[in-house]
């Protein structure tokens, strides 16, 4: 799996909004951070358009994303918002331009299956991390640091530490790091965008899901056969609002559903829809080692 070239000050970055409607204030703050690093963010004037709960019509969003992926001078594509909407346009997105002009992509949530397509079809590492609205948000210093490393440096990591209370099952495994938002991964099953997980370390996260709903999603993943051949599981904490369930409830559920999973299982790793979350290199080869309590680039 290849890494696209790191950017240099002065390079152009494309900003797309292929999913939910964009918050202007958060967007502008993120743009200022990118500009402070000497980068040149480019985006369409109609990026704030709305159609129902989308960032404009399907045609607008499709044309915007396709244009950025094809653009020879753009060195990275970032995203203004997750939410929902990418799946309306994903079948029509072509990746031939991205193969010709490789770019660094950072996204999460609704963009899960786009990142996976890029890994499989372009042989490129992609990055699972928050959209640009969090770059300037209080309490998200790690997000800003990881973005800067991805865009102006070479690689993330190389080591992410685990706490003893995050380890549900012990083990040491190596494999490609794949995954993303569990509800979107489940949505892809039975489509041509279904994620290939065999031989991989699978990272899963979601937001505002009660334990019983998350259990339903995880059970479907298991009963569909998608966990067969998966080497290890890296599961994020789930935030469920003011009445969120305790870590004990989550761990009990996960241990029961995954009792016959043979690889290591970690719960509570900070990535995805969490405050100050890590950004992870999807497609990269990693090692999950619960004895050394770390995830590291292999």
pLDDT in tens, 59-114: 999 999 999 999 999 999 999 999 999 999 999 999 999 999 999 999 999 999 99
Buried b (16+ CB within 10 A) or exposed e, 142-158: bbbebbbbbbeeeebbe
Measured between alpha carbons, how far is 140 from 144 in angstroms, rounded to an integer? 7
Residue 106, helix vs strand vs coil: strand
CA distances, 275 to each of 119, 144, 218, 270, 298 (Å):
26, 12, 23, 8, 27
Catalytic residues: 109, 205, 273
What residue segments make up the domains of the chain, in order of their start? 12-152, 159-297
Render the burial of 41-68: b for 16+ CB within 10 Å, e for the rest: bebbeebbbeeeebbbbeebbbbbbbeb
Nearest to 214 by CA among 202, 204, 223, 224: 204
The answer to whether the CB of 282 falls within 8 A of the CB of 119 is yes
Name the CATH superfamily housing domain 12-152: Murein tetrapeptidase LD-carboxypeptidase, N-terminal domain (3.40.50.10740)
Taking residues 42-69, what's their average pLDDT? 98
Give the span between the Cα atoms of 109 and 207, in whole angstroms: 9
Tell me whether residue 294 is exposed, middle or buried, using C-beta atoms within 10 angstroms of its C-beta: 0 to 12, 13 to 18, 19 or more: middle
Question: pLDDT tens-digit profile of 6-18?
Answer: 999 999 999 999 9
pLDDT band at 241; cut points 50, 70, 90 = low
pLDDT digit string (tens) for 150-208?
A: 999 867 888 999 999 999 999 999 999 999 999 999 999 999 999 999 999 999 999 98
Query: What pLDDT score was predicted for residue 154?
Result: 67
Copy the structure tokens of residue 68. 């950025």
Please write the tens of the pLDDT for every residue from 212-226. 999 999 999 999 999
CA atoms of 281 and 283, how far apart (whole Å): 6
* Phi, psi (degrees; rounded to nearest 5) at 41: -70, 135
Model pTM? 0.96
- The domain covering 159-297 belongs, at the CATH homologous superfamily level, to LD-carboxypeptidase A C-terminal domain-like (3.50.30.60)
Fold matches, 12-152 and 159-297: no
Separation CA 205–CA 130 (nearest Å) = 12
**Site of tokens 């339903």:** 216
How many Cβ atoms are within 10 Å of 163's Cβ, its own excluded? 10
Q: Which residues contact 91 (CB under 8 A, 6 or more apart)?
A: 192
Q: What percent of the chain has pLDDT over 70?
A: 97
Any idea of the CA torsion for 181, 202, 223, 167, to the nearest 10 degrees?
-100
Structure tokens at 178: 């794949």
- Phi-psi map region of 77: left, alpha, beta (phi>0 left; psi -120 to 50 alpha): beta
From first CA to last CA, the distance across the chain in angstroms is: 12
């Amino acid at each position: 799996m290849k890494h696209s070239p790191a950017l240099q000050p002065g390079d152009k970055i494309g900003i797309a909004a292929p999913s939910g409607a964009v918050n202007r204030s958060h967007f502008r703050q993120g743009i200022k951070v990118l500009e402070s690093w000497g980068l040149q963010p480019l985006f369409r004037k109609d990026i704030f358009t709305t159609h129902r709960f989308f960032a404009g019509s399907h045609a607008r969003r499709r044309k915007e994303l396709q244009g950025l992926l094809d653009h020879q001078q753009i060195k990275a594509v970032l995203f203004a918002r997750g939410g929902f909407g990418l799946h309306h346009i994903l079948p029509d997105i072509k990746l031939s331009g991205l193969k010709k002009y490789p770019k660094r992509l950072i996204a999460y949530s609704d963009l899960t299956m786009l990142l996976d397509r890029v890994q499989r079809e372009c042989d490129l590492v992609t990055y699972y991390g928050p959209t640009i609205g969090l770059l300037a948000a209080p309490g998200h210093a790690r997000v800003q640091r990881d973005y800067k490393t991805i865009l102006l440096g070479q690689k993330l990591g190389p080591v992410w530490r685990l706490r003893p209370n995050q380890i549900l099952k012990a083990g040491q495994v190596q494999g490609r790091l794949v995954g993303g938002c569990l509800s979107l991964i489940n949505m892809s099953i039975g489509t041509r965008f279904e994620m290939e997980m065999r031989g991989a370390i699978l990272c899963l996260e979601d937001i505002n899901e009660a334990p019983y709903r998350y259990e339903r999603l995880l059970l479907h993943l298991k009963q569909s056969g998608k966990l067969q051949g998966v080497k290890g599981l890296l599961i994020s904490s789930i935030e469920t609002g003011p009445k969120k369930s305790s870590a004990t409830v989550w761990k009990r559920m996960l241990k029961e559903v995954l009792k016959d999973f043979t690889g290591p299982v970690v719960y509570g790793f900070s990535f995805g829809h969490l405050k100050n979350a890590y950004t992870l290199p999807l497609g990269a080869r990693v090692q999950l080692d619960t004895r050394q309590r770390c995830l590291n680039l292999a």
